[in-house]
Amino acid sequence: MSRPLRRYLGVDFMGVATISASRVDLGRALARVTKAPFKPHQKLRLLRTYLLPKLTYGLVFGRLMAGSLQELDREVRSAVRSWLKFPPGVPSAYIHAPVKSGGLGIVSLSASIPSLRRQRLLALRGSSWGVARAAADLDFVRQQLAWCDRATPSAPKPSSSAEFAAALHESVDGKELRQCSESLISSQWVDWALEGIGARDYRHFHAVRVASLPTAVRCTRGSRGTTLPLCRACRSRSEHLYHVVQQCPRTHRGRILRHDAVAKQIAGALSSSGWDVERERLYHMPSDQGKKPNIVAVKPNQSCIILDVQVVNGSLDMEQTWRAKIRKYDTNDLRQAVSELKGVAPNNIRVMAATLSWRGVWCGKSATELRELGISVGVLRGITTRVLLGSYLNWWSFYRGTSLHPSLPPPPSSSSLIPRAGVG
């Protein structure tokens, strides 16, 4: 007579022994979520907050093999890639790295389950129940601890959240995200997307963030030699995403529009907080041709700020870039010119810079200073997504544009492409 099958807290028992954990539940659940009429960020939230935690207890206490956990991870990554329409080559570390470190925060089962099982087994020795302490010396427990050691991923595979974050920041596509943890505002839109980001924009923002938009350099990975393909518009540098978005003359107008949009949002937030804001005024000074800070704002208590906006390269140290921008405008001549015009003492003038990267990563000290001025987290989060949108539109306009740098020969006319009579 076969023993009856019983389930307790998601774990199947037959008699006194557990049976193998089933992988059908996860596959079926992922298929249901994929078919459901949800937006991609809603599907990610279901996966991160409900689906994977629901399976954790059963996987920790059920019988399974390390290969099963790796197969479950592959199913999860495949579903996430389909929801966000990632092209091949997006690093898996981007999916499993914590949100605050620039990833999606999807738990890796092959990295977390052996660790959780080990913690449960080792906790037996410290239990206040004598039976549990005696069970810690059983051969079964020692065998399970040995399994945990074998199932834990070994280098170079990441085995913890910190290692996934390090793997992401060491990759070509994720190195500019290493400063995300300096300001949580850089990553809050990943979880707060229910506040109005459309499904298409949400996918585009992730494509910008992990540099997965197609360019000549990215599309020729694995098939080219050591020479990188040059930009088709200016021929001055290789056509990678940073050049397309931040450097190419074809997207110059888009960079100005993105910069001005950020300055406008900050100016509006300062006005709402009681500041008298003036934008883009040229201050003439005897030492140079003059300076035009983006924002000069005064409060009734006779405090004044000079603020300039910059969207920079995230591979550099953004704190140094932030300090360099402050040094540019923190001069005695500019302080004196603003003091005379605004009626504020020079020592009551504070020079600041709003600094974030083209991938929406904030300089931590810059975000902190803006918060001190009374700008809300919601406004800074909106600036983050506006920069991501502007970067995506720069890429989009680059590939729809036909303008060439003046030093390049013009493209052939349409008439020269028509075969002549009798030729061929």
Q: Is the peptide bond before 156 cis (omega within 30 degrees of 0)?
A: yes
Burial (Cβ within 10 Å: 0-12, 13-18, ≥19) of residue 420: exposed
Pick from 145, 171, 197: which residue ends a domain?
171
- 9 and 151 in a single domain? The answer is yes
pLDDT at site 16: 47
35, 161: one domain: yes
Residues 264 and 162 in one domain: no
Which of 148, 171, 194 is the endpoint of a domain?
171
Mean pLDDT of all residues in 215-232:
84
Residue 177 has pLDDT above 50, yes or no: yes
* Per-residue pLDDT at 410: 58
End-to-end CA distance of the chain: 84
Q: If residue 356 lies in a helix (H) or strand (E), which one and from where to where? A: strand 349-357
> Which H or E run includes 368?
helix 364-372
Verify that 159 and 28 share a domain, yes or no: yes
Q: Do the strands 276-279 and 295-298 form a parallel or antiparallel pair, or are they unpaired?
A: antiparallel
pLDDT of residue 136: 81
Among positive and negative, which fits the CA dihedral 140, 142, 147, 152? positive
Closest CA to 207 of 44, 90, 356: 90
Rounded CA separation 32/329 (Å): 56
Q: Residues 384, 189: contact at Cβ < 8 Å?
A: yes
Most confident of 193-207, 227-241, 309-323: 309-323
Q: Which residue has the higher pLDDT, 288 or 210?
A: 210
pLDDT of 169 = 94
pLDDT at 2: 55
Residue 123 within any structural domain of the chain: yes
**Confidence band, pLDDT 50/70/90 cuts, at residue 376:** very high
Q: Residue 163 domain-assigned?
A: yes
Is residue 412 assigned to a domain?
A: no
Single-letter code of the amino acid located at 17: A
Q: Of 382 and 11, which is predicted with more confidence? A: 382
Longest dimension (CA), the chain: 100
Residues 166 and 266 in one domain: no
Average pLDDT, the chain: 86
Region 95-118: what's the mean pLDDT?
A: 91
Identify which of 67, 71, 86 has the alpha carbon closest to the alpha carbon of residue 30.
71
Q: Which residues have CB under 8 Å from 330's CB, separation 6+?
A: 306, 351
Establish if 180 belongs to a structural domain.
Answer: no
The residue range of the domain holding 124 is 5-171
pTM for the structure as a whole:
0.86
Looking at 152-282, list the stretches that DSSP marks H as alpha helix, in order from N- to C-terminal side.
161-170, 188-191, 199-209, 216-219, 241-246, 252-272
Q: What's the 3-state SS for 53-99?
A: HHHHHHHHHCECCHHHHHHHHHHHHHHHHHHHCCCCCCCHHHHHCCH
Nearest Cα neighbor of 135 from 48, 272, 126, 231 is: 126
Based on the fold, state whether residues 31 and 150 are members of the same structural domain.
yes
Residue 203 lies in a domain: no
In a domain, 328, yes or no: yes
**Residues 147-155: contacts with CB within 8 Å, 24+ apart?**
147/66, 147/114, 147/117, 148/114, 148/115, 148/117, 148/118, 148/121, 149/114, 150/66, 151/65, 151/66, 151/69, 151/110, 151/113, 151/114, 152/111, 152/114, 152/115, 153/110, 153/111
- Tell whether 38 and 155 lie within a shared domain: yes
| Average pLDDT of the residues in 245-272 | 95
Do residue 163 and residue 306 come from a single domain?
no
> What is the per-residue pLDDT for 157?
74
Write down the pLDDT at residue 57. 81
CA gap 94, 169 in Å, rounded: 9
User: Are residues 260 and 167 both part of a single domain?
Assistant: no
* Residue 76 is assigned to a structural domain of this protein: yes
Band of pLDDT at residue 83, cut at 50, 70 and 90: very high
The answer to whether the Cα torsion of 93, 96, 97, 103 is positive or negative is positive
- C-alpha–C-alpha distance, residues 341 and 344, integer Å: 8
Q: Which residue has the higher pLDDT, 97 or 222?
A: 97
In a domain, 290, yes or no: yes
Find which of 25-34, 91-100, 123-132, 298-307 is predicted with most confidence, using mean pLDDT. 91-100
CA 245 – CA 281 distance, rounded (Å): 27
pLDDT band at residue 46, thresholds of 50, 70 and 90? very high
Look at residue 19 and tell me whether its pLDDT is greater than 70.
no
269 and 150 within one domain: no
* 244/238 Cα distance (integer angstroms): 9
Residue 404 has pLDDT above 80, yes or no: no
Count of structural domains, the chain:
2
- Residue finishing a domain among 113, 136, 171: 171
The residue ranking higher by pLDDT, 319 or 14, is 319
Give the type of residue at 278. Answer: E
Distance CA 102, CA 3 (A): 49
pLDDT digits (tens, 9 = 90+) for 345-367: 989 999 999 999 999 999 999 99
Do residues 33 and 153 both lie within one domain?
yes
Cβ-proximal residues to 267 (8 Å cutoff; 6+ apart), any chain: 277, 279, 294, 295, 297
Across 128-157, average pLDDT: 81
- How confident is the model over 268-272, as a mean pLDDT? 95
CATH number at residue 286: 3.40.1350
Q: What is the pLDDT of residue 413?
A: 47
Rounded Cα gap, residues 251 and 269, in angstroms = 28
Q: What is the pLDDT of residue 26?
A: 84
